[in-house]
Amino acid sequence: MSRQDRSLSSRELLNRIGLNEETPHSLIQDESLDDLLGDLEGDLGSVLRERYALLNQQHPFKPGDLVCWKPGLRNRRVPAYGAPAVVLEVLDQPITDGETESGSTYFREPLSLVLGLFWDREPGRGDFVAFHFDGRRFEAWESGLA
């Protein structure tokens, strides 16, 4: 499936339902999520199944590959959507994130990739840094599609 054929990213989805940095709201709503997502093509169940399938789509990365977030699967602030990161290491045995709060998106997350990227905030803006990530959330980066 080409990048242009994919449905909305999580950021685009949140913008459509009015949850973005310009108009932050509580994620706890009285109305149903189906009502908030009513303008999407398809129902919430099909969107969830699509993201599940995308999460489980395997990519055989190796050191030196350029990667980016799969649409709708970004769960960390960096790198930005569409921005490349370089694979520094592919871990044979993923490291489980040490987050102890089960309500966290990082709880028991399998960190299988070490990625290098340029830090985009002060202090240290422009420094090359390395972070561990869940490799299931990434795909090959293509420069013409960013």
Report the candidate in 41, 49, 38, 57 with the shortest Cα–Cα distance to residue 8: 41
81 C-beta neighbours (distance < 10 Å), count:
16
Which residues on neighbouring strands pair with residue 105, listed in sequence order?
Answer: none
| pLDDT tens digits along 67-90 | 999 998 999 989 998 899 999 999
Q: Flag the least confident range among 40-49, 101-110, 115-124.
A: 40-49
- pLDDT tens, 108-145? 899 999 999 998 888 888 899 999 999 999 999 998 65
pTM of the model: 0.69
pLDDT tens, residue by residue, 1-37: 444 555 666 666 666 655 555 554 444 445 555 555 5
